[in-house]
Structure 1
Amino acid sequence: MVAQPKLTFYTSVVCPYAQRAAIALNEVGAEYEKVEIDLQNKPAWYKDVNPETKVPALTVDDYNIAESLVLVELVNDLFPEKKLLPDNALKRAQIRFFVEYWSSKISPQQWKIIGNLEDKEGRQTAYNDINAALVRINELLLEQSQEGPYFLGKEYSIADVNVAPFAYRLKVLVSHFFKDEIELIDFAKYPRVKEFLAGITERDSFKATIASEEYLAQAYEKARERFAAAAKK
C-alpha cells in the first residue's frame, strides 16, 4: 500500500468552496492537518501558501495548490480507490458539465439576492433565473437515473461534493432573510431535484464539514453590511 502524502488543508468553515475540498477529504478518509483561515483577517504568511490568499488550499508534502475544483479532483486522484469519479469518460464529462451548469446558472443568483435585499423585484428576477435553471437541472438528473439520491443515482461522486455547499447555503440565505419567499424557488416542484438536494446535504461528510445555520446566517449578515457599505461609496 502506497503511503499517503503529508496533507495540510487551509480552509474557512464559512466558505462553500473550502467545504467542497473538506467533503472530498472526509469522503476518502484522508489524514490531514487543518488550518482555519480568518477570511477577514488573513495572516500575512498565508501568501506563501496561496498568493491570492483565497481558501481552500492544500499542501501536498511540500507543494501548495489551490482552487476548489482542482483540489476535489486532486483528492480523487490521490485516493482513486474511493471512486469519487467513475472510470467511464462520458460519465466524468457529464459530472463536470453538471457542476459547471450549477456554478454558472444558480450560484451567481445568491449574490444577486444579497445585492437586492431592499428590492423585491430584483430578488424575484433572481428566483426566476434559479427556477429556469432547475428545469435543466432536473433533466440532467433524470438523464443519469430516475431515482437518487445522488447525481448518478445510488453512486456518490464529485458532482454531489461540488454542488452540496452551494445548494445548502442558497436555502439558508433565502430562509434567513426572506422566510416567506423560500417557496418562490421550486425546489420541491421536481421530485428528482428534491431527492438530490436532500441526499447530498444528509451525507455524513457534508454534516461533518458544514457550519451551523446560525453561523452561516451571521456570515450573510456581514456580507449584507459589506454590500451596503460598498453601495454608499
Structure 2
Amino acid sequence: MAIPDEQIFPHATGAAAETVQKHQQPQDVIFYAGWFCPFVQRTWIVLEERGIPYQYKEVNPYKKEKHFLDINPKGLVPAIEYKGNALYESMILCEFLEDAFPEAIPRLYPSDAFERAYARIWIDYIAKSIVPAFFRLLQGQTEEKRKTALDDFVKALGAFADKVKGPYFLGDQFSLVDACIAPWVVREYIVVEHRGHSRDLAGVNWKVYADLLEKRPSVLKTGSEHYTEIYGRYLRDEAQSEAAKATRSGGVIP
C-alpha cells in the first residue's frame, strides 16, 4: 500500500537533522521551516552563515498549527517570529536578518551601495529566470515542454555563471546571491536524473561554481536526504504547493 505523502520523511534527515537538533532551545528568532523547501533553505543558510541564534520549528504542511497561521495567514514557510513579531517570504527574511543583526559576521551584502544593488539585480534574476525554469522542467509532462524548459534552464544558468567573479558570485566572499541560488544547486541532481539535464550543458563556469557551492558548510548543514521522494510529486505534476500551482497555471511563483 502506498504511503501517504504526509507520512514520508516528516522531518529533516542527514546533516540537516543534526542541525535541527542543535537549535531547539528558545531564542529571540523562531524559524518556522519545512526541511524539503528550497525557499526555507536559503533563509536557513543565512542563519547558519551569520551565526544568528535561532530556534527551529518544523511546520507540517498538512496540519498547520493555529499559532503559525495566526502569525502567517498565507500559511507558507519560511517564516520568522522575532520578539513576538512575525515576518515571512524568504528574501524578505534574508534582508531582515542582514539588517537586524549588523553585529553578526560576516555580512552577506557588500558594504558598497552599488555592489549591494548589483547583488539585488542577480537575486531578482534567480527568482525570475532560474527558479521558474527549474519548476517548469521538473513538472513538464511532455517531451516538448521538457525540451523547452531544459533549454530555458540551461540558458539561464549559463547567463548567471558568466557573471560569477569567482570563486563565489561576487568574488572571494560568499554572499546573499550565493545563498539564494544554493538550494537549487542542491536539488539540481533531480533534473539530472529525471529530465536529461547536466551541469556541463550550462558550461564550465556553471559546473565549477555549482560544484563549489554545494560543498559550502552552511549548504551541507541545511541539506536533507530524500529530496527525490518528495519531489516525485512535482515530477508527476501532482504537487499542490503554491510554486507548483503557479508553474502549472503559468503564473508568478510566490
Whether these two folds match at TM > 0.5 is: yes
Q: 1:106-165 CA distances to partner (integer Å, 9 max, x unpaired)?
A: 111222123323x12211101111222234213322xxx2xx221112111101111101
Indicate if the aligned counterparts of 2:138 and 2:191 stay in contact, CA closer than 8 A. no
User: Match for 2:161 among 121, 125, 138?
Assistant: 138
Shift of 1:43: 2.3
Shift of 1:225: 4.7
AA aligned to 1:126 is: A
1:59-208 pair list within 5 angstroms: 59-80=81-102, 81-117=105-141, 119-141=142-164, 145=165, 148-169=166-187, 171-178=188-195, 181-183=196-198, 186-187=201-202, 189-191=203-205, 193-208=206-221
1:27 matched to which residue of 2? Answer: 49
Paired with 2:112 and 2:163, the residues of 1 have a C-alpha distance of 17
Paired with 1:89 and 1:44, the residues of 2 have a C-alpha distance of 41
Alignment of 1:48 with 2:65, yes or no, is no
Paired with 2:107 and 2:55, the residues of 1 have a C-alpha distance of 23
Q: Residues 184 and 84 from structure 1, CA distance in 2 versus in 1: closer, same or farther, beyond 3 angstroms?
A: closer
Quick check: 195-204 or 50-59, which moved more? 195-204
TM-score (norm 1): 0.84
Paired with 1:37 and 1:121, the residues of 2 have a C-alpha distance of 36
Paired with 1:208 and 1:97, the residues of 2 have a C-alpha distance of 27
Indicate if the aligned counterparts of 2:161 and 2:209 stay in contact, CA closer than 8 A. no
Q: Residues 174 and 122 from structure 1, CA distance in 2 versus in 1: closer, same or farther, beyond 3 angstroms?
A: same
AA aligned to 2:224 is: A
Q: Residues 110 and 92 from structure 1, CA distance in 2 versus in 1: closer, same or farther, beyond 3 angstroms?
A: same
- Aligned residues: CA RMSD: 2.2
Paired with 2:121 and 2:213, the residues of 1 have a C-alpha distance of 18
* Equivalent position SS for 1:9: strand
Paired with 1:123 and 1:201, the residues of 2 have a C-alpha distance of 25
TM-score (norm 2): 0.77
Alignment of 1:221 with 2:232, yes or no, is yes
Paired with 2:153 and 2:239, the residues of 1 have a C-alpha distance of 24
Paired with 1:110 and 1:156, the residues of 2 have a C-alpha distance of 23
Percent identical: 28
Q: 1:73-121 CA distances to partner (integer Å, 9 max, x unpaired)?
A: 111123324211111011111111111112211111222123323x122
User: Match for 2:224 among 211, 214, 221?
Assistant: 211
**Unpaired runs of at least 5, structure 1:** none
Paired with 1:228 and 1:53, the residues of 2 have a C-alpha distance of 16
Indicate if the aligned counterparts of 1:98 and 1:140 stay in contact, CA closer than 8 A. no
Paired with 1:226 and 1:39, the residues of 2 have a C-alpha distance of 18
Shift of 1:226: 5.5
**Unpaired runs of at least 5, structure 2:** 1-26, 249-254
Of Structure 1 and Structure 2, the greater helix share is in: 1
AA aligned to 1:183 is: S
Indicate if the aligned counterparts of 1:127 and 1:185 stay in contact, CA closer than 8 A. no
Quick check: 47-56 or 127-136, which moved more? 127-136
Paired with 1:95 and 1:67, the residues of 2 have a C-alpha distance of 18
AA aligned to 1:113 is: L
- Which portions of structure 1, spanning 4 or more consecutive aligned residues, are displaced by more than 4 angstroms? 228-231
